């Protein structure tokens, strides 16, 4: 399985009343689109086999969040994608931590433009 269904279900619970939700399989995982904008996703890191969360938080707070536990730059192509972060299990295992990350993604989603991957 390319991503954790358990983690995906935890995210679904948090997005339940967040607007129009669409799930798309892409980039080897599952992306949750909120109001037609990429918001949060799940996949498995192929090099470590760890589940990870992808959050779109925007460029304004991106750097400040990098110091949080389990947080890393999102770098699919070898170059960091500013405004997007990967969060590893130590950063989302607790409900409070997952709430924090989904909350940050939803906060940015309100002002975000649609993201169209190249």
**Structural domain of residue 39, as residue ranges?**
5-109
Question: C-alpha dihedral over 48, 25, 63, 104, to 10 degrees?
Answer: -120
Is residue 116 assigned to a domain? no
Is residue 26 assigned to a domain? yes
* pTM score of the predicted model: 0.91
**CA–CA dist 82, 74 (Å, integer):** 8
Question: According to the model, what pLDDT value does residue 73 have?
Answer: 94
Number of domains in the chain: 1
pLDDT along the chain (118 residues), means of 10: 90 89 90 94 94 96 96 88 95 97 96 70
């Amino acid at each position: 399985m390319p991503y954790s269904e358990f983690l995906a279900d935890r995210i679904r619970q948090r997005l339940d009343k967040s607007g129009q939700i669409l799930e798309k399989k892409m980039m080897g995982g599952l992306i949750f689109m909120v109001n037609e904008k990429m918001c949060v996703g799940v996949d498995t890191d192929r090099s470590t086999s760890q589940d990870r969360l992808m959050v779109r938080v925007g460029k304004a707070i991106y750097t400040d969040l990098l110091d949080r536990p389990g947080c890393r730059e999102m770098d699919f192509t070898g170059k960091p994608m500013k405004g997007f972060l990967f969060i590893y299990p130590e950063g989302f295992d607790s409900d409070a931590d997952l709430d924090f990350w989904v909350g940050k993604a939803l906060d940015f989603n309100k002002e975000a433009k649609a993201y169209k991957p190249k």
